[in-house]
């Protein structure tokens, strides 16, 4: 098998395609689609998102130090793309993407009601990295859609049909291959 050398770049794919809801100090809310997002710490629970300073939502995160990460699904694929290619300077993304703002418990930014998971975040540090600024944030609340809970209290995001972003395209997640530790689990 031969390998071809590429120029250095971001090839860590697929990534979660998330809609990040924000609000400025006056309460004007917006949504930005972000693929540069991830988990960075378990205890305390922390995440990061990276946003270009030129984006309309960037100043809102800087002003308030808050945002909500809203996970996306196949049903939300159109809205996810729309909120990534249109600017909140020009359109009301909530209205145009037919999304419902839902009051958060701890941050000014609203949650997206249609999302199966809403993660309320408070920025603890911002890093200017070049094309993007990374906002490192502590998770201060999580909301999950009760439709995806089972009788034992376990949450099943897979039933919401989540999507990922892969090199400029959106994909549905496929079949389950195993669970953590299955490679060393004793066979019955």
- 167-188 pLDDT tens trace: 999 999 988 889 899 889 888 7
- 89-117 pLDDT tens trace: 999 999 999 999 999 999 999 999 999 99
Q: What is the strand order of the sheet 18-23 is part of?
A: 29-34, 18-23, 66-70, 117-128, 133-144, 46-51, 37-41
The structural domains of the chain, with segments of one domain joined by +, span 15-172
Residue 188: what pLDDT? 79
In CATH, the number for domain 15-172 is: 2.30.110.10
Residue 101: what pLDDT? 98
- 74-94 pLDDT tens trace: 999 999 999 999 999 999 999
Sequence-separated (6 or more) residues with CB below 8 Å from residue 55:
32, 87
Q: State the pLDDT confidence band at 36, using cuts at 50, 70 and 90.
A: very high
């Amino acid at each position: 098998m031969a390998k071809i050398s590429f120029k250095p770049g971001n090839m860590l794919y697929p990534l979660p395609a998330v809609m990040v809801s924000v609000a400025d100090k006056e309460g004007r809310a917006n949504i930005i689609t972000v693929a540069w997002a991830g988990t960075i710490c378990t205890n305390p629970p922390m995440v990061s998102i990276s946003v270009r300073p030129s984006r309309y939502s960037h100043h809102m995160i800087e002003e308030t130090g808050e945002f909500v990460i809203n996970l996306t699904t196949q049903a939300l694929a159109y809205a996810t793309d729309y909120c990534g290619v249109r600017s909140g300077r020009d359109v009301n993304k909530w209205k145009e993407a037919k999304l419902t703002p839902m009051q958060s418990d701890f941050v000014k930014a609203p949650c997206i009601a249609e999302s199966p998971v809403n993660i309320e975040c408070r920025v603890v540090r911002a890093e200017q990295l070049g094309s993007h600024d990374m906002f490192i944030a502590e998770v201060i609340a999580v909301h999950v859609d009760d439709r995806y809970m089972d009788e034992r209290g376990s949450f099943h995001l897979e039933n919401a049909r989540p999507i990922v972003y892969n090199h400029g395209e959106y994909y549905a997640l496929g079949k389950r291959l195993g669970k953590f530790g299955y490679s060393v689990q004793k066979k019955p």
